[in-house]
Amino acid sequence: MKKILLFCAVCAALIFGCKTNSNSADTKKLILTFESKSNSQVTGTASFVEKKGSVTFSATVSGLQPGPHAIHIHEKSDCSAADGSSAGGHWNPTFKKHGKWDMGEYHKGDIGNFTADASGKGTISLTTDQWCIGCGDPAKDILGKGLIVHQGSDDFTTQPTGNAGARLACSAIIQ
C-alpha cells in the first residue's frame, strides 16, 4: 500500500507540477556583525541580499555619537587591528577618485553617510547592481572585503578617504 501511495504522489507531482519557491535558489544573503574598534562601544549588524542581479545592503548601528557617520566597504576582510586599519583602504577596483555614490567618480566602496539619532542609533540602506556576492568578478564581488563605520561624515571630496575620521566598527564580508 505504501508503494502505491508513493507512486501516486510522484505521478501527481509530474502531472500537476510542484510549486517551489524558485526565488530562494536565486537569492544570496550575508548577515554580518560589527566589532567595536578604536576603543568605541559601536555595535550593530549589516546584511547584503542579492536577488535578480541587484544587491540590497542595510545596516543598523548603535553606540554612536548623534549626527552623521560614514560607512565604506574596505579592501580586506581583516578586522584584527584595534583601530580597524587592517581592513586597508576603500575598496576601489575601478581605480576611480573618492566621491559620492553614483555621482561622478567614486569608489565601489563609497557607500556614503547615515545619521545617528539622539540615542546613538542609525540605519542605512542601498540597492545596487554594481555589487555581487561571490560572483568572482573583481570589479563587483564584495566577498573578502571589510565594512567600516567611521567616527565622522564623509565629505565626498578629500582623497582618498573622504576625511571620515576613526574607524569605530568593522565587519568582514565573508560567508
Query: Looking at the domain assignment, is residue 5 inside a domain?
Result: no
Measured CA to CA, the distance from residue 120 to residue 149 in angstroms comes to 13
The length of the chain is 175
Residue 109 identity:
G
**Each residue's pLDDT tens digit, 8-31:** 333 333 333 333 233 456 899 999
Nine cell digits for residue 97:
577618485
Query: Looking at the domain assignment, is residue 2 inside a domain?
Result: no
**Each residue's pLDDT tens digit, 111-169:** 999 999 999 999 999 999 999 999 999 999 999 999 999 999 999 999 999 999 999 99
CATH of residue 36's domain is 2.60.40.200
Q: Work out the number of other CB atoms within 10 angstroms of the CB of residue 128.
A: 15
Query: Looking at the domain assignment, is residue 8 inside a domain?
Result: no
Query: Looking at the domain assignment, is residue 87 inside a domain?
Result: yes
Query: Looking at the domain assignment, is residue 7 inside a domain?
Result: no
Cis peptide bond upstream of 160, omega within 30: yes
- State phi, psi for 59 to the nearest 5 degrees: -145, 145
- State phi, psi for 37 to the nearest 5 degrees: -135, 165
Measured CA to CA, the distance from residue 81 to residue 127 in angstroms comes to 30
Instruction: Residue 87: give the domain boundaries.
Output: 21-173
Query: Looking at the domain assignment, is residue 150 inside a domain?
Result: yes
Contact between residue 138 and residue 146 where contact means Cβ atoms under 8 Å apart: no
Name residue, grid cell 576611480.
96
- pLDDT recorded at residue 20: 29
Query: Looking at the domain assignment, is residue 14 inside a domain?
Result: no
This prediction has a pTM of 0.84
Name residue, grid cell 574598534.
37
Query: Looking at the domain assignment, is residue 16 inside a domain?
Result: no
- For the chain, the domain total comes to 1
Contact between residue 110 and residue 101 where contact means Cβ atoms under 8 Å apart: yes
